[in-house]
Chains A and B, each alone.
Chain A
Amino acid sequence: MTAAVQLPSAPEIWPEAVPYWQGAADGVLMLMRCLACEEHYVHPRPFCPHCGSNRTEWREAQGSGTIYTFTITERAPVFKVPAMVELAEGPIMMTAIVDCEPAEVKIGQPVMVSFCPTDGGAPLPVFRPA
């Protein structure tokens, strides 16, 4: 089974992304959504990268998605299965798959968000098999 054997370093928190990391601390994946084109997007910024509108809001994501792609890095000190997950809301985000047998991970596999503690900072969103 894979789990973080060493804590990842604490993320640097930009002022525009505070709700993302506060959400992570509370066990919630936060996403930004554009009120003009109604698309969700990553990464957080106070304007929409799709249409340019600055009418945006924070939303709680469902926390579910499917694996878009992944790799297996057996010798990595923290995460053995870096991945990209396609969220139920649409955006694809970089992350890692945990609590899994790397050899059994598949593209298209349903996953749920989880949170990995960091070295003295906000936790990182990761995903585990649903």
Chain B
Amino acid sequence: MYPGDAHIVGIYEHPVRKAEGISLAQLHADVARGALEDAGLSVSDVDGYFCGADAPGIGALTMAQYMGLRLRYTDSTETGGSSYIGHVHHAALAIAAGKCNVALITCADNQVASRKFIGLGGVDWRGAPEQPFEDGYLMGPPALYGMVAQRHMYEFGTTSEQLAWVKVAASHHAQHNPNALLRNVVTVDEVLASPYVAAPLRRLDCCVMSDGGGAIVLARPEIASSLARPKVRLRGAGEAVKHNAGGKVDLSYSAGRQSGTAAFAEAGITPADIRYVSLYDSFTITVIMQLEDLGFCAKGEGGRFVADGNLISGSGRLPFNTDGGGLCNNHPGNRGGITKVLEAVRQLRGEAHPAVQVADCSLALAHGTGGSLAGYHGSATAILERV
């Protein structure tokens, strides 16, 4: 019966970007309430709950008590920033299998306000066996992705100007989002004039750091049909993990190659059918790699694909991240997967900002990368369809 048997019926993105005066548990509860209100459902309707390591305590158990959920299905899958796209996949499977009727997914973080910068919200790296062999070199995310960008430039001739075009497109979209952290439109020259953080990546090649979060509600089709909101269904999904393979490293591609292939096969469509993409944009290079790995262009052509505004809604051939993405809008807890699904749903509903709404948007793709493209990472791809 899957994948046609689960619909996204409610979404919510917290407007806060620095969450002062609110606890982590309450942020989760706030985004849950927002998405349930959007759907026209209540807490008492939820019987499945999905969260990542950003949920406090024992995740689903802790939050079930706090929110008053009565659950018969839980899933605390943690794959970094891609977790929530995986949760959409898992929730659809659980609904199709009859294990739950209404599934709630939440993501939230308050690291910026609490000044506890630990990176990936909720993840404790102690005991991770690779840490002694990597930690000492002090490679934060910019250095790790800087190495990926350097290798991409070496193998494929990708340029700093091409990387900059990704940020330029995101900024064109963010100007229309009143909640976006960075609303100024920037030019390629302005990106290139920003200081290096981890060469070849510059400050404006990096995503924002923010608090907040979001939530998604999925339901069985009969329930979705009883609600007033536009219906969006999961048509295909895929997940994959890539790691250093004992040292047989190849940084030219990501796990998106596998998760994307699986998602397109399940959906029975090709990249040419997709009208809008939400792509993980921790860094500009992440977007270029994913466009290649998902098949929107040939391997190595990502730089040329994004150049000249081709990701800008209204003028480019493949509008991406029309909320401003992680590069300009929001990246709660360094976990951008949730916002990727939210903006894809807005596009399919026709509820994106009019200046960036894609005409007749019937098929959209949301893709996330969690962890590090230079080390291990998870990829999750969801192909969503307006019903």
Give the residues from 53 to 72 in chain A that come closer than 8 angstroms, CB to CB, to chain B. 68-72
Name the residue of chain B whose CB is nearest to the CB of A75: B197
Determine whether the beta carbon of A14 is less than 8 Å from that of B147: no
Asked if B196 is at the interface of the complex by the 8 Å CB criterion, the answer is yes
Contact of B151 among A41, A49, A68, A126 (CB under 8 A): A68
Name the residue of chain B whose CB is nearest to the CB of A90: B247
Determine whether the beta carbon of A84 is less than 8 Å from that of B129: no
Q: A65 to nearest B CB, angstroms?
A: 11
Determine whether the beta carbon of A91 is less than 8 Å from that of B248: yes
Asked if A113 is at the interface of the complex by the 8 Å CB criterion, the answer is no
Asked if B244 is at the interface of the complex by the 8 Å CB criterion, the answer is yes
Contact of A13 among B132, B151, B198, B247 (CB under 8 A): B132
Q: Quick one: CB contact mask for A65-106 with B, threshold 8 Å, 1 for yes?
A: 000111111101111001110010011111110000000000
With contact pairs A78-B138, A82-B137, A82-B139 given, residues A71 and B201 touching in the complex (Cβ less than 8 Å): yes
Q: Which residues on the B side are within 8 Å of A50 (C-beta)?
A: 245-246, 248
| Band of interface residues on B | 35 or more
Determine whether the beta carbon of A95 is less than 8 Å from that of B137: yes
By secondary structure, the A interface counts as loop
Determine whether the beta carbon of A107 is less than 8 Å from that of B154: yes
Asked if B315 is at the interface of the complex by the 8 Å CB criterion, the answer is no
Determine whether the beta carbon of A69 is less than 8 Å from that of B148: yes
Determine whether the beta carbon of A70 is less than 8 Å from that of B133: no
Q: Which residues on the B side are within 8 Å of A69 (C-beta)?
A: 147-148, 150-151, 154, 251
User: Which residues of A are at the interface with B, using a C-beta cutoff of 8 A?
Assistant: 8-9, 11-14, 17, 39-43, 45, 48-50, 68-74, 76-79, 82-84, 87, 90-96, 107, 118, 124, 126
22 contacts between A and B (CB under 8 A): A8-B136, A9-B136, A11-B132, A11-B133, A11-B135, A13-B132, A14-B129, A42-B133, A42-B246, A68-B151, A69-B151, A70-B147, A71-B198, A73-B146, A79-B137, A82-B138, A82-B143, A94-B134, A95-B137, A107-B151, A118-B136, A124-B137
4 A-B pairs with least C-beta separation: A91-B247, A71-B146, A41-B246, A49-B246
